[in-house]
Structure 1
């Protein structure tokens, strides 16, 4: 069965391996002067690593410069990119509302300055966003290699601190926005893998309006974005077990809030950022991180950030953004790219299915968890999880309200529960 023929949520299926596509020519500004030949060359170098999918990023103000105008030519170019990927055996997931990428914000002028409106609650903005997402999804609905829509890249960063000019909302307003936008994607392309993706404030930041319950219950899968520059590498060190475990920890943390015991989790962004991970350690970090993630049941796939290094002729990126690629800007595989390619080859040859994790660390937080910094690196729950792992356990997580529910535990294969205090006394 080819990747495009496989059900994206098939239980027990081998995890998918892909990359977040960063064009070599012009970065995401390539939509302004789209060059299909350059895109094809980029995708050839991605396919050469043995990967099976890419995630792509239309720039929202380029595609929808006016609230009632979604540019047909831009949509057509997106379809061309998806078709070019399919020719190379690559399925495609598409993000819609870009949104935020690599420290830059991309919002259309009809939401800013003289037209400043809350992007999560203003009725006219909501109508425009829904129409845009529905249009993109509908344009791709008949493409067999189209995986589905993600609402936007880490769009929760617009909703609160530390953004310099946030559109503040409540958790209820965040949920209403998510439900409406996911519905728009489903209307455009029924049955695809439509989801939303937040950066880790949803899991770690107290009082953030996008919550773990939103992430783990809305949409067709849970998306996890794992970045060790969030304090993990700084606190524990680049080579510490906690750093290599961070992505797997986030995957298992998400399961505490999931209502479906077998809900797929997509490690949608993970990378080896310098200087937190030195260039000569990137391959080792890749191997360690991927091995830990593959030990998590219900993993839909791993999508590395990113495909190609950002061209250094482009200015004002944070330094780490220039070197995150699996390939150079000249499309040559780097050590991390070669390491991931070997992992992919091995998994495909040997097959893979992670065993259930039988030990669950009990998380005593409510469903929508206003105070969740206990889960962040340095927090008591994070410390207990990593200690269990260091002692040889393969821990998962469970909310305290479900820790005494035999049916829930059995559905997840959990045979033992432990508390943070238990780990502290051990």
Structure 2
């Protein structure tokens, strides 16, 4: 764990979005990083687009790798550390997969031996290129790559949990081979926690890699069901942080809130700063929080077509690099020096069986019970039902009380919690 919670941002270039890799302009990148550093943040998460960097399975473009290193060095000059996502993968509703995995060369991303060889070589190459940079945090395997493994993706690459586990092990090992001792992790969107047929499981999220990553988006049914100022909406990020701890084998495994943002129109622009402040404050009340990395740095330019409407306005800064009130909310938190919180002593039991994950999702009985406890001021965490009587485990986590959803909500009425 770092001595203090890290504050950073997912870097979305102000010119050309992630297509900027096709026309890489280091001066533009420097100006973007200046506007990020001015907020007092300490790190950026950056996104090479996989098909631009590895257009052929046997070709990892040296020039593209050099540009990534140049971006990392420019960040270092501004006091910013860098985490690099490798397999992009999926960003803002668009899929970016190399041609050697698609159509006439259609091969499964998680099980095909040739694809795995190519992915491992790519991740190892990026990690090795940055291994000697002091400001290199480490690699994230990809951005929400679990969305490729099941519905609602229109053309999923099906895999079993066992195959996904083998994929994670090999890809994380490739990152470690390239940059030994760095913080290497994987990150999925919340279907890992909520969707029963997802082959990426909570146990994998909480046990594979150096830290657990969670991505919190309240357009998942939370804001629609409970309202923009409700307890579930303002505490959703904190819920995912605490939910992940149920599966962790280490009692104080760090959790990184790697993505969280204020999506319009569910969070209107005039309410975005208040939502940001509340989300950050509640996340900071979670012990073992590694950091908060807001999505995202800069708005998507209106000159670019076909993005979902909400994607155009998620930036802390406008497309011309002017900070919004959400930027000040994050900057204020970064300046605050908030002390580490006390342990959460009340634990809600959650089912260990991944087939029961719907109970953890918006409207589910675990979800409802957690936020009833939260509304009552209990500061809950979670524990697996199979560990609820494990005194050693509970003591190591500082848990003194274990409750079930039935005890909290003897007659639950989904959708009514405010």
* TM-score bin (small chain): over 0.9
Q: Shift in Å at residue 204 of structure 1?
A: 0.1
- Paired position in structure 1 for 2:342: 355
Q: Determine helix, strand or coil for the equivalent of 2:347.
A: strand
- Residue pair 1:265, 1:301 contacting (<8 A) in 2 also: yes
Q: Is 2:254 the partner of 1:264?
A: yes
- Residue pair 2:296, 2:314 contacting (<8 A) in 1 also: yes
- Paired position in structure 2 for 1:3: none
- Paired position in structure 2 for 1:402: 387
Q: Shift in Å at residue 200 of structure 1?
A: 0.5
Structure 2-normalised TM-score? 0.97
- Paired position in structure 2 for 1:6: none
Distance 1:124 1:353 in 2: 45
- Paired position in structure 2 for 1:5: none
- Paired position in structure 1 for 2:363: 378
Q: Is 2:308 the partner of 1:318?
A: yes
Distance 1:97 1:285 in 2: 31
Q: Is 2:400 the partner of 1:415?
A: yes
Distance 1:242 1:136 in 2: 38
- Residue pair 1:208, 1:370 contacting (<8 A) in 2 also: no
Distance 1:312 1:229 in 2: 22
Distance 1:343 1:198 in 2: 25
Distance 1:365 1:173 in 2: 20
Q: Shift in Å at residue 14 of structure 1?
A: 1.1
- Residue pair 1:207, 1:371 contacting (<8 A) in 2 also: no
- Paired position in structure 2 for 1:337: 327
Q: Shift in Å at residue 425 of structure 1?
A: 3.5
RMSD: 0.8
Deviations 1:301-320 (A, max 9, x none): 00000000000000000000
Structure 1-normalised TM-score? 0.96
Q: How does 1:55-204 map to 2 (within 5 A)?
A: 55-204=45-194
- Paired position in structure 2 for 1:20: 10
Distance 1:352 1:192 in 2: 25
Q: Determine helix, strand or coil for the equivalent of 2:214.
A: strand
Distance 2:251 2:39 in 1: 33
Q: Shift in Å at residue 345 of structure 1?
A: 1.1
